[in-house]
Amino acid sequence: MQIKGLSGTHEGKKHDKKICDEEGILLPEGSDLYRDTGFQGHEMEGVNIHQPKKKPRGGELTDEEKENNRLISSIRVVVEHVIAGVKRCRIVKDVFRNTLSGYDDDVMELACALHNFRSYQRRVSY
């Protein structure tokens, strides 16, 4: 899987939903968005949102809801593996001490480009 877009980098432990709200991230109409439950309350017009359903308090999920959650999770696992592939470049997960403006974004772009190159080379070699 390839990385197609990035938001700006943010220092510290800033929640993904808050970043999404502040930057006004938009997706093409009709696209599918698979997200985790950390984005409760965030909506996008014209986008098909797929999010796991939480078990109700004191209740159970139906078999259909459980199967839907498994499908969403199987796609999310691939996304988490892509994130881990980017973090192979330890500079993006360790404390970045360079204070020059814009270097943090450049480093993230390079790490994502390296991940895309590695994944492309794996597909070409078969």
Q: Name the token pair of 88.
A: 């192979």
Round to whole Å and give the CA distance between 86 and 89: 6
Round to whole Å and give the CA distance between 86 and 114: 8
Round to whole Å and give the CA distance between 89 and 64: 40
Q: What percent of the chain has pLDDT over 70?
A: 97
pLDDT digits (tens, 9 = 90+) for 31-90: 988 888 777 777 888 899 888 988 889 999 999 999 999 999 998 898 889 888 898 888
pTM of the model: 0.72
Of the pLDDT bands very low, low, confident and very high (cuts 50, 70, 90), residue 126 is low
pLDDT for the residue numbered 124? 65
Q: Name the token pair of 51.
A: 């999010």
Asked if pLDDT for residue 96 goes beyond 80, the answer is no
